[in-house]
Amino acid sequence: MPEHTAAADFAALLRELKDRSGLSYGVLAKRLHMSTSTLHRYCNGDAVPADYAPVERLARLCKAHPEELVELHRRWVLADAVRGRKGAAAAETPPEEAGSGTGPGQAASEAAPPAEAASAGAPPAAPADADTGAGTAPTRRRTRTAVLAGIAVAAVAAGVALAVGLPGGGSDGDGDGGRHRPVGAAGVTAEGTAPASSSPPSAAASPSSPAKDTGPARTPAGSAPAGAPSGEGQKSGVPVTVRAEPYAWESPCSQRYLADKPANEMKPPPLEEGAAAWVAAHGAVSSGQQYLRLTVQGTGPETVVVDGLTVRVAGKRAPLAWNDYAMAYPGVGCGGGVQTRAFAVSLDSARPSLTPEPGNEDFPFKVSESDPEVYYLTASVSAYDVDWYLELKWSSGDRSGTLTVDDEGRPFRTSGNKGRPAYEFPIGGDGWVPEGTTKLE
């Protein structure tokens, strides 16, 4: 889909919601904690937000219906994907794209940046004046060959560095005290593939695998059929990608986190888009429930069937004996409501499984590159501290496989909060106070 079309479709729905709300750009921008000019650019199609959280908050402020929220997310995914491809294409501009009057020195200067960007250790391209046929086609071919050779060597070196430097992944099973790597986007790996150190990274795979797989062994997801020609990696690879947001909020009122820190050492509650960084900074864990937003999209025009999502438990322990912090400011109203494609799971169960929320359909669903799906998962727990992850089963034609979805190589983690000291942050206050002690005016 052309960039202007994807961005224009996304902006058109934003404008429709904004106009229907009757609120001015200034009022909306103030409530969204962004500048009026930024909001103008989003609604005019001049820019696409890098994160979906402010888009969803805007839609909720404008009283968007559940179906509109799903459609808005779909359009944002497409606009964001096209923008990403455009950035990648700009970084790979061929050196011979220079104008007809370009001399050899200029061609070399344009060819150098891609090789330098690939790796600081890449061998330099041959000097432009190393051949007397400057400005001729053979010179351009030799220059391009040198650049491509440098990039190839850099790619091999990067692969070796990745194999040596990557951690083995997984969890210690006893809990890590809330210590996380940088969070905010989930890892997705293909079950049954080789270890991270021997498998190349891909757009749909994380270098780490989950701590524990309780299911049976499987054929590698998206593996190439026998006799497939070389160079068909993208075509024969996994035809679906998953983008998981493990720290999405259904509403601030429902979102809480446990942290092993006293109230006087805790920062104020973040906005939703800052939740991942806030969790990482405090070593926090989702409290009582965790709300996940999964965006599933095909990598090509062919239809991919998402057959189902399975919950896998990697470990269970007694609930964390930490303080419980509420993200909602006292007295602030909360939106929310059941989304389309919404599911719930109780992690207290012996065999947790997803069930559709009332009024929602169950799997299977179909996706493609131009028609993504968004699933909203609410995982609740009260009696345990649970490490868990998801397995997404897909099929496309005569191919099928399973993707493991987790928190960047670690399981998602959700703990019960019964009996834990609870705190809230009053509006205009300068610190956390015991929940229920704030006097509302």
145 lies in a domain?
Answer: yes
- Give tens-digit pLDDT for 279-301: 999 999 999 999 999 999 999 99
Q: What is the CA radius of gyration of the chain?
A: 25
- Give tens-digit pLDDT for 216-245: 333 333 333 333 332 333 344 899 999 999
Q: How many Cα atoms sit within 13 Å of 307 on the Cβ side?
A: 11
Q: Do 198 and 84 belong to one domain?
A: no
| C-alpha span between 100 and 16 (Å, rounded) | 47
Q: Do 290 and 342 belong to one domain?
A: yes
DSSP H stretches of helix in 119-194: 137-165
- Residue 53, amino acid: A
How would residue 114 be classed by pLDDT, with cut points 50, 70 and 90? very low
Q: Taking the CB of residue 112, how many other CB atoms lie within 10 A of it?
A: 16
386 lies in a domain?
Answer: yes
Q: Under a CB-based contact definition with an 8 Å cutoff, are residues 70 and 341 in contact?
A: yes
| C-alpha span between 80 and 75 (Å, rounded) | 8
Q: Do 124 and 29 belong to one domain?
A: no
Average pLDDT, the chain: 72
Q: Do 192 and 298 belong to one domain?
A: yes
How would residue 339 be classed by pLDDT, with cut points 50, 70 and 90? low
Q: Tell whether omega for the bond before 207 is within 30 degrees of 0, i.e. cis.
A: no
The highest-confidence range among 182-196, 213-227, 303-317, by mean pLDDT, is 303-317
Q: Do 122 and 266 belong to one domain?
A: no
- Residue 16, amino acid: E
Q: Do 66 and 120 belong to one domain?
A: no
Q: For 5-19, 28-42, 103-117, which range has the lowest pLDDT when averaged over its residues?
A: 103-117
| C-alpha span between 202 and 162 (Å, rounded) | 13
Question: For residue 81, is it left (φ>0), alpha (ψ between -120 and 50) or beta?
Answer: alpha
Number of domains in the chain: 3
Question: For residue 135, is it left (φ>0), alpha (ψ between -120 and 50) or beta?
Answer: left
Q: Do 52 and 122 belong to one domain?
A: no
Q: Do 151 and 74 belong to one domain?
A: no
Length of the chain: 441
Average pLDDT over residues 328-357: 79
229 lies in a domain?
Answer: no
Q: Under a CB-based contact definition with an 8 Å cutoff, are residues 169 and 213 in contact?
A: no
Q: Any bridge partners for residue 410, and if so which?
A: 407
H or E segment and range at residue 6 = helix 3-21
C-alpha distance from residue 11 to each of 6, 45, 77, 106, 413 (Å): 9, 5, 12, 40, 36
- Which single residue is written with the structure tokens 């006097």? 439
How would residue 5 be classed by pLDDT, with cut points 50, 70 and 90? confident
Q: Do 84 and 195 belong to one domain?
A: no
Question: For residue 405, is it left (φ>0), alpha (ψ between -120 and 50) or beta?
Answer: beta
Q: Do 193 and 260 belong to one domain?
A: yes
233 lies in a domain?
Answer: no
C-alpha distance from residue 315 to each of 150, 211, 435 (Å): 46, 9, 30
Q: Under a CB-based contact definition with an 8 Å cutoff, are residues 118 and 155 in contact?
A: yes
Torsion of CA 45, 46, 52, 53, to 10 degrees: -100
- Show Cβ contacts of residue 239 under 8 Å, excluding neighbours closer than 6 positions: 222, 298, 299, 300, 302, 304, 394, 396, 399
Q: Taking the CB of residue 5, how many other CB atoms lie within 10 A of it?
A: 13
290 lies in a domain?
Answer: yes
pLDDT given for residue 88 in this prediction: 55
Q: For 46-60, 183-197, 371-385, which range has the lowest pLDDT when averaged over its residues?
A: 183-197
305 lies in a domain?
Answer: yes
Q: How many Cα atoms sit within 13 Å of 353 on the Cβ side?
A: 5
Q: Do 198 and 153 belong to one domain?
A: no
C-alpha distance from residue 102 to each of 95, 124, 133, 193 (Å): 11, 20, 14, 48
170 lies in a domain?
Answer: no
Vertex 180, ends 275 and 267: CA angle to 5°?
A: 40
**What domain range includes position 160?**
115-129+141-165
pLDDT given for residue 439 in this prediction: 58
Q: Do 269 and 369 belong to one domain?
A: yes
285 lies in a domain?
Answer: yes
- Give tens-digit pLDDT for 121-169: 444 444 444 344 444 444 444 444 444 445 544 444 444 343 333 333 3
